[in-house]
Amino acid sequence: MQIDDLLKLDIKLLVSFEVILEECSVSRAAERLGVTQPALSKSLQRLRELFKDPLFTRQAYGLSPTSRAYELHEQITPILGSMSSLLQPAHFDQATLKRRFSIKADEELLLTFIEPLLAMLHYQAPNIRLMTSNWSDDGFDDLLNGADVGIINAESTPNNIRSKLIGTMDACVILSEAHPLYYKDEVMLKDLLDHKTVVFNIRNFHSATTSVTIEKLEKIGYVIEPKIETDSIAVAIEAVKRGMALIGSAQLGTMFSNISACKEGFSNVKVLPLPADAVEADPYNGRHPIQLCWHERFDKDPAHRWFREQIVSFMHSSPWIFNDE
């Protein structure tokens, strides 16, 4: 690339050249461009010097392009067309879009939208590849390093991470018949913590709402020390089956109830609301916000925006998500 030569090329000169060639008249070209005739004559002189050719000769009916002018026209027209397209909004067609999207989300949140999302992609965007993985404590760094979207329970995100509040989700207590409190219609937090518990995907990054809640409960004397911490649904199922209480989302409660109803040998499961004293102490009153987040570099990307909007739409349709919009 010859930088010095390129710097001599003024786009206004190239546009002037094209309009003069189309009009075969400096006066008509000047009127069309909204400049004075003397100003356009100066531009024509600069063009002649730049390309070392008269470019146009005067005839009785106007200007006649030289052979060099026609050669330049063939080269300049596609260049100006390409430059013009830079100013047009980017467009994409999901039916032909070939792209990989990655989602970082814990399984209980993923389950609120993944079924309709996969169906939509299958029929409307068959060339899209999808990758999902659990949100990690380094999740914001993952978004910085290439992950497309994260879905988390959080109050806020870092400055370079954009976010949208999708809604809120209720928490609940899940017990099997093997738990000592199974036959109670209502449980208190102290009674619950007197027995073994299992927690699913408890995150400790600063803005996680679970971290805020646990810190608040500890300040008033409720220390949650689970027997098992896991991000595996299979492990959580086995723990509940063996008599541990699972404090999780309402969506998990529905899933565990469905499993107990159809899985042979599985104990009956009861889903209870959070203890009243836990709700009272919880800064979120047992209903935690859900944020969709992405790196700011994707904010104006049409395909990325479309993908985000699909997720938000499906989550808003979920029976477990409360949307106050």
The answer to whether residues 42 and 110 belong to one domain is: no
Is 103 a domain residue?
yes
Looking at residue 55, its pLDDT comes to: 92
pLDDT surpasses 90 at 8: no
Cα separation of 104 and 231, whole Å?
Answer: 13
pTM > 0.85? no
The answer to whether residues 220 and 299 belong to one domain is: yes
The answer to whether residues 149 and 241 belong to one domain is: yes
Closest CA to 274 of 166, 188, 197, 207: 188
Cα separation of 253 and 247, whole Å?
Answer: 9
CATH code (residue 59): 1.10.10.10
The answer to whether residues 58 and 155 belong to one domain is: no
Using the 3D structure, point to which of 52, 85, 118 is the last residue of a domain.
85
**Average pLDDT over every residue of 257-280:** 83
Is 90 a domain residue?
no
The answer to whether residues 73 and 12 belong to one domain is: yes
Report pLDDT digits (tens) over 11-22: 888 899 999 998
Instruction: Please give the structure tokens belonging to residue 159.
Output: 């400055």
Looking at residue 88, its pLDDT comes to: 64
Looking at residue 171, its pLDDT comes to: 86
The answer to whether residues 55 and 179 belong to one domain is: no
Mean per-residue pLDDT of the chain = 87
The answer to whether residues 144 and 61 belong to one domain is: no
Q: Provide the residue range defining the domain that includes 139.
A: 95-325
246 strand-pairing partners: 174, 198
The answer to whether residues 99 and 73 belong to one domain is: no
On whether the CB atoms of residues 130 and 103 are closer than 8 A, the answer is yes
Looking at residue 318, its pLDDT comes to: 92
Q: Helices (DSSP H) in the chain: which residue ranges? A: 3-8, 11-23, 26-33, 37-51, 67-85, 107-110, 114-124, 139-144, 189-193, 209-219, 233-241, 250-262, 276-281, 302-316
- Better-scored residue on pLDDT, 262 or 104: 104
Q: Give 7's pLDDT tier (boundaries 50, 70, 90).
A: low
Using the 3D structure, point to which of 60, 85, 110 is the last residue of a domain.
85
Please state, for a pLDDT cut of 70, what percent of the chain lies above it.
93
Report pLDDT digits (tens) over 169-214: 988 899 999 999 999 888 898 888 899 999 887 765 566 788 788 8
Cα separation of 12 and 78, whole Å?
Answer: 15
Report pLDDT digits (tens) over 42-75: 999 999 998 999 999 988 778 899 999 999 999 9
Is 27 a domain residue?
yes
200 strand-pairing partners: 230
Report the number of distinct structural domains present in the chain: 2
Using the 3D structure, point to which of 34, 55, 85 is the last residue of a domain.
85
The three-point CA angle 257-259-265 to 5° equals 110
Is 266 a domain residue?
yes
Report pLDDT digits (tens) over 120-147: 999 999 999 999 998 888 889 999 888 9
Looking at residue 1, its pLDDT comes to: 45
CATH code (residue 239): 3.40.190.290
The answer to whether residues 137 and 182 belong to one domain is: yes
Is 223 a domain residue?
yes
Burial class (CB in 10 A: 0-12, 13-18, 19+), 228: middle
